[in-house]
Amino acid sequence: MRHSLRCLEDLERRFKLTAAERRAIQGLDGRMPIAITPYYADVIARSPALRKTMLPRPAEFIRAPGEFEDSLGEDGHSPVPGLVHTYPDKVLFLVTDRCAVYCRYCTRSRLAGSGTLKSSTAAWKRAIAYIRKTPAIRDVLVSGGEPLVLSDEKLDWLLRRLRAIPHVEIIRISTKVPAAMPQRITPNVVRVLRKYHPLWLSVHFTHPDELTPESGRACARLADAGIPMCSQTVLLKGVNDSPGVIKKLMQGLLRFRVKPYYLHQCDAVAGCSHFRTPVERGLEIVRSLHGFTSGYAVPTFMIDAPGGGGKVPVAPDYVAGREKGEWLLRNYLGSIFRYRDGTSRFGRDIRKARG
């Protein structure tokens, strides 16, 4: 991370910048900073699609109607600094605002790299105290920023105290490190993580070009330690919004022993309109996967409702209607099949016969 590309001079030494990219970099002025690890710079140098997610563009300065700085209303659901309590039985614990790389479509661009979230044990104690005194919380999602940029010692301190709370059943860590800085997944950090089972990782992969031998080894090390991994992918216009790209990514993740979990519609974050696709595009992509690849490779298409409404699954409609007590079901090839369920007269007759 000390060798990350962070300024115009760094980027010009590594990339041939376009005039638009150079103008956007020069105009950041207090907005979300740039950070690209040397490893990830090599990845995006070979991937025009991923380059769009890391290098600023002028469109980033345009605030479209319906966009917000805090699009998910997290600040309004924060009982103590660094903690977001939107759902009844789980909390989001923002332990740092630093990342290994700063994605230009970041939901928390208002916080990323700002220095407002202190990654200190003193800052975390209030959040841990809130979790301890709230027995309804059974699931803690540790996020940020990027939790795995913390030192092994700080991670150990944090996870040990969360695991000591009797009603916390599972701990999850949200991370892009396996894709952006796989060298961080050392034997020692894995030893720290595996002490606190049940512990899950939500890993952020965007494009098949991230499925490198290095990221594969990082995922293998985690999987071999018994740490389950689920993927979260943001659907991005001009980056991964095609059935072929998403299919290749999801199949590759399965080979890495990562279960495809969510395909997110890009949030309504200020400055991200150039990344957002129509919702129908996400539905088309899910339709293109269903029946044409392993069911394990089909993620749930999800929209995070603005203002703190929570995640809403959106799925293609495979029900063509009902007729004479039968469901009309459309399969992946578009063929219609009839299905008689237990609410029909036939179903009632069976139950009556069974007595």
* Overall average pLDDT of the 310-326 stretch: 93
Q: Are 165 and 275 in the same domain?
A: yes
Which SS3 state, helix, strand or coil, does residue 338 take? strand
* 24 plus 123 within the same structural domain: yes
Q: Residue 287's domain is classified under what CATH number?
A: 3.20.20.70
Dist. CA 353–CA 355, nearest whole Å: 5
Within a domain: residue 223? yes
Instruction: Tell me: do 244 and 350 sit in the same domain.
Output: no
Residues 261 and 298 in one domain: yes
Indicate if 75 and 22 belong to the same structural domain.
yes
| 96-135 pLDDT, tens digit each | 999 999 999 999 999 998 888 888 898 899 999 999 999 9
Domains: count for the chain: 2
In a domain, 3, yes or no: no
For residues 213 and 347, membership in a common domain is answered with no
Instruction: Based on the fold, state whether residues 251 and 350 are members of the same structural domain.
Output: no
Query: Residues 279, 340: one domain?
Result: no
Rounded (10°) CA dihedral 205, 207, 209, 211: 40
Q: Could you tell me which of 206, 313, 292 has the C-alpha nearest to residue 252?
A: 206
How much is the average pLDDT of 219-237? 98
Confidence band of 30 (pLDDT split at 50, 70, 90): confident
Domain containing residue 338: 319-354
Rounded Cα–Cα distance for residues 79 and 199 (Å): 24
Residues 82 and 199 in one domain: yes
> What is the pLDDT averaged over residues 270-282?
97
Question: Does some domain include residue 68?
Answer: yes
Q: Tell me the C-alpha distance between 223 and 165, whole Å.
A: 25
Residues 234-269 have pLDDT tens digits of 999 999 999 999 999 999 999 999 999 999 999 999
Q: Is residue 2 part of a domain?
A: no
- Do both 294 and 163 map to the same domain? yes
Please determine, for residue 354, whether its predicted confidence score (pLDDT) is greater than 90. no
pLDDT higher than 60, residue 349: no
Hey, how many other C-beta atoms are within 10 angstroms of the C-beta on 244?
A: 11
Q: How far apart are the first and last CA of the chain?
A: 69
Query: Residue 342's pLDDT is what?
Result: 73
CA distances from 112 to 119, 141, 252, 276 (A): 13, 17, 29, 20
Q: Are residues 34 and 173 in the same domain?
A: yes
pLDDT of residue 307: 87
Q: Which pLDDT score is estimated for 345? A: 55
